[in-house]
Amino acid sequence: MTIRSLVFVICALMVTSSFAQKKKKKEDEHRLMETATQPVAEQPKPAPIVKDTLPKVSVLTQHFARKYATALQWNDYEVAKDALYDLIIENPGNDSLIFDLAVYYYQNQKAASAILVSNELLARNPKNIGALEIAGGGYETLGVLDKSLQSYESLFLLTNNIGTLYKMAFLQYRLKRYKESGASADIILSHKDVETLKASYTASDKTQKDYPIKVAVVNLKGMIALDQGDKLGAKKLFEQVLAMAPDFALAKENLAKTKETAVKPK
């Protein structure tokens, strides 16, 4: 190839390259114009980050919870109690777990332990209704009647429950606080639900039977009168009880006491 021919080829390539560059530039400008006239798609907003507000449960807590549930399923209450202790140690601030332990002890006639566990809850919250009820029942089982009455009095102030006042009335009687017991009985008898509430007693045939709570409370008033030496007043009250419930064995026994005469010593 001569020098002239080589120059021609180089010039041709330069022209072609220049033309191609101009064409590409025009195409790019055209695409840019098209892009500018098209609506810009709205970018999706990122999803809000949801923070986990639930407390993290440790692996040990999960294990002991499964142990507790399985033991209950298989009626192995000793193992369930052990699992409860494990759960409490892992979660010492969980009052619900401690209350479940108090219930376990109370239901299994371990009154002293039930009281101690309940007192732990009451130290944290003196208005814990469940703990007050278990403590009251536990103290009564152990015969510590004054402590039992204190627990039920606190419970009644919080709940105004007529069943709690019923327990108080009989505890007051057993403590020979007759005036207080009579006042509690009168409040119960004036309550709107006195005709519908029930109390369980042993009937004449030695079976357990539910009687209207009014029957038990009127009988209580008769017992108070009898203990204070008012046999005539007591007799009227026991007769009133038997008019409402002829098979109420306790009223029959009490009525017989009003007819007893003191035996003079020789």
The conformational region for residue 262 under phi > 0 = left, psi -120 to 50 = alpha, else beta, is beta
Q: Provide the residue type at 64 as one letter.
A: F
Give the whole-angstrom CA distance, residue 122 versus residue 119: 5
Mean of pLDDT values over 65-85: 94
141 vs 200, which has greater pLDDT? 141
Q: What's the longest Cα–Cα distance across the chain?
A: 169
Reduced to 3 states (helix: H, G, I; strand: E, B; else coil), residue 149 is helix
Q: Residue 56 — very low, low, confident or very high, per pLDDT cuts 50/70/90?
A: confident
Give the E-state strand segments of the chain in sequence order: 198-202, 208-212
Contact 114, 105 (CB under 8 A): yes
pTM: 0.74
Is a pLDDT exceeding 80 seen at residue 146?
yes
Q: Which residues contact 155 (CB under 8 A, 6 or more apart)?
A: 129, 132, 133, 136, 161, 164
